[in-house]
Amino acid sequence: MRSGVVMKVLSKDELLSYLRKMWLIRFFEMALDELFGKGLIMGTSHFCAGQEAVAVGACAALRPDDAVTSNHRGHGHFIAKGGDPKRIMAEIFGRGTGYVGGRGGSQHMACFEIGFVGSNGITGGGIPIATGVALAFKLRGLDRVALCFFGDGAANTGYFHESLNMASIWKLPVIYLCENNLYAMSTPFDYAFPVEDVAARAAAYGIPSRIVDGNDVLAVRDAVKEAADRARSGYGPMLIEAKTYRYYGHSKSDYREYRTRDEELDWQRRDPIVRFERFLLSNGIAASEEIDEIRRSARAEIDEAVAFAEASPEPDERFVTYGVFA
């Protein structure tokens, strides 16, 4: 991480806000894991612990009025874009105070007001949606961009190939951000891809690409900033591949038989949050007491989110058939 350049551009407050958001996401997922374990939440969930730097770095490079689409592993994206952990937690609890009143659950939340155009339970489903949002931005003469989070698995869907092609020929202001966490559920990247990198595929569509260390929040931010500036100036889409890793299994029913504990430990040594803390300390940007305080307050905020969700009422069944049509 390059402290000199970073400190010229980013204030201490800004940098500490990245740390806090990453901790919020980590604690959020840890809390969920515990709640599922205790049987306090129904349904399924896909945790993003280990990938926090991608969500936070990307959203840090966007404007509040830019849009993002997310996937099934979307809690981190939502928190990074400014979502309130209380209402995200309540949604996963199936409570009326959740972002979409319990109708969506973990994989189907949205808050258009803050530019979160939805998590998505169909792998790759967010790719054309983000592309279409970018088309609307362009045709309406707005200088906003759309960013699409998706995994390596989604890069094998037709949506990926078709949408990148159209975004390129129409020069749409869209950023394709692939979080390559090496496994599509259990399918290893090197089984499902005959190429080394997802980024290689950008060339087929005449789109520039970047490969970044997805566990380096500042590297992700830099790459997305470059893509956003480019898109805003009318030069069209970019594909960014962030190499990262998910600590938990694909979903809560996964025993991780397809990968080794050694590999997991190896990635944990490159933990994005620990690395960023070290960066802040070694460059004298923050003292260890400040970092401890950030961690403590993030933990407290997630505890509050759980308490809020648990105390919230269930959605009102009387309205379950309402609102199918606008």
Q: Which residues bind other proteins (CB under 8 A)?
A: 67, 69, 100-101, 103-104, 108, 110-113, 117-118, 120-122, 125, 127-137, 139-140, 146, 158-159, 162-163, 165-166, 169-170, 323-326
Q: Rank residues 253 and 321 by Cβ distance to other proteins and give the closer one.
A: 321
Among candidate residues 176, 215, 213, 221, the one with its CA nearest the CA of residue 60: 221
CA atoms within 13 A on the CB side of 204: 11
Residue 210 CB, shortest distance to other proteins, in Å, is 23
Q: Rank residues 161 and 270 by Cβ distance to other proteins and give the closer one.
A: 161
Q: Rank residues 119 and 244 by Cβ distance to other proteins and give the closer one.
A: 119
Torsion angles phi and psi, residue 212, rounded to 5: -125, 160
Residue 73 CB, shortest distance to other proteins, in Å, is 17
Please give the C-alpha separations between residue 290 and each of 62, 80, 270, 294, 298, in angstroms, as whole numbers.
26, 21, 22, 6, 12
Q: What is the C-alpha separation between 233 and 236, in angstroms, rounded?
A: 8
Residue 84 CB, shortest distance to other proteins, in Å, is 15
**Structure token pair of residue 272:** 């994005």
Q: Rank residues 154 and 285 by Cβ distance to other proteins and give the closer one.
A: 154
Q: What is the C-alpha separation between 114 and 129, in angstroms, rounded?
A: 16
Q: Cβ distance 121 to 72 under 8 Å?
A: yes
Residue 104 CB, shortest distance to other proteins, in Å, is 5
Q: Rank residues 153 and 249 by Cβ distance to other proteins and give the closer one.
A: 153
Please give the C-alpha separations between residue 124 and each of 29, 156, 193, 237, 287, in angstroms, as whole numbers.
22, 8, 16, 17, 41
Q: Which residues pair with 178 in a beta bridge?
A: 150, 241
The string of DSSP letters for 216-261 reads -HHHHHHHHHHHHHHHHTT---EEEEEE---SS-SSTT---TTS-H
CA atoms within 13 A on the CB side of 234: 3
The count of other CB atoms within 10 Å of the CB of residue 102 is 21
Q: Rank residues 4 and 141 by Cβ distance to other proteins and give the closer one.
A: 141
Residue 194 CB, shortest distance to other proteins, in Å, is 22
Q: Rank residues 76 and 132 by Cβ distance to other proteins and give the closer one.
A: 132
Residue 135 CB, shortest distance to other proteins, in Å, is 5
Residue 209 CB, shortest distance to other proteins, in Å, is 19
Residue 288 CB, shortest distance to other proteins, in Å, is 42
CA 153 to chain centre: 15
Q: Rank residues 207 and 211 by Cβ distance to other proteins and give the closer one.
A: 207
